[in-house]
Amino acid sequence: MATLRDIKRRINSVKSTAKITRAMKMVSAAKLRRAQERMFALRPYAEKIGEVLSSLSQPVEQDIHPLLMPRPRKTVEVLILTSDKGLCGAFNSNVIKAGVNLINRLKSEGFEVSISTIGRKARDYFKRRGVELREVWTGLSGKITYSSAQDIARNLMEHYMDETFDEVHLVYNEFKTVVAQKVVELKLLPIAPVEHETEKEKEMKDFLFEPSEEEVFNRLLPKSIEILVYRALLESQASEEAARMTAMENATTNAEDMIDRLTLEYNKARQASITKELMDIVGGAEALKE
């Protein structure tokens, strides 16, 4: 049975843990607010540029730009986006699980799969299992910039146009609410045009390109991929901070419940100890009377 000193030591230890988790929750809440502001500011732009490019690409020939032109799939690139740090619940395990399922599905269909990762958690997961990674990006958590998204997007576009792989899928956590994140599998390359259902819709998409179709797509298509990668990074960052805030809140609540249980146990043990001492005193006094 634990002594009073042992129980007191455990109570102090759990109290220290609760202070840490409470502080981490507050830090994550502040980071989440900033991440949400950046994410919500980018969302309308990312959605609109996607709509514009999909509409523009519908009436033109797909061989006008390599990023538009699909080809027979032999090798598929899967890019898995996780965080660099832990203590965020199932945030990383959910996206890794979805990425592994996608990889296994592609392999079962007969495709070669190359894997790249963003974040230390995904990198460490595959390295522990001896899986070779084509490319690794780390150190972006909390330090996301548009230039980092450009570097990742350019790497993917260069290898796609060099035919290192024939398709690119990005797996990441999309922010829904503070308590809910959704794992998304996004096909980055090749860029798919919108399929219009009626002839009238097609006629409405009869564009005039200035200075030329080639120049417009040479500028806009790489930009759209950069924006998609940048949006995924921001969505993942907001989801990470939300998941960490929720995890730390749950940890704090559990610590407080444990403190209550240990305090009750301490009081019971102390009461029992006092009762035993009183019984010893009474017994000694009775013995002296005899």
pLDDT tens by residue, 218-233 = 778 889 899 999 999 9
Distance CA 116, CA 207 (A): 37
Return the structure tokens found at 271. 């009461």
Contacts of 24 (CB under 8 A, 6+ apart): 87, 244, 248
Q: Which CATH superfamily is domain 23-245 in?
A: ATP synthase, F1 complex, gamma subunit (3.40.1380.10)
Residue with token string 């150190």: 139
pLDDT of residue 71: 81
Output the pLDDT for position 127.
94
Residues of the chain with CATH 1.10.287.80: 4-22+247-283
In the chain, CATH 3.40.1380.10 covers: 23-245
pLDDT of residue 253: 93
Give 110-158 pLDDT, tens digit per residue: 999 999 999 999 999 999 999 999 999 999 988 899 999 999 999 999 9
Average pLDDT over residues 35-61: 79
Residue 200's pLDDT band (boundaries 50, 70, 90)?
very low
CA atoms within 13 A on the CB side of 289: 6
Give the pLDDT of residue 40.
93
Residue 74: pLDDT over 60: yes
Task: Report the CATH number of the 4-22+247-283 domain.
Answer: 1.10.287.80
Contact 203, 152 (CB under 8 A): no
- Residue 53 annotated to the active site: no
Q: Which of 46, 88, 191, 243 is catalytic?
A: 88
Classify burial at 195, counting beta carbons within 10 Å of its beta carbon; exposed 0-12, middle 13-18, buried 19 or more.
exposed
User: Would the pLDDT of 66 be above 90?
Assistant: no
Mean pLDDT, range 268-278, rounded to an integer:
81
Instruction: Using a cut of 0.75, tell me whether the model's pTM lies above it.
Output: yes
Report the Cα–Cα distance between both ends of the chain, in Å, rounded.
Answer: 35
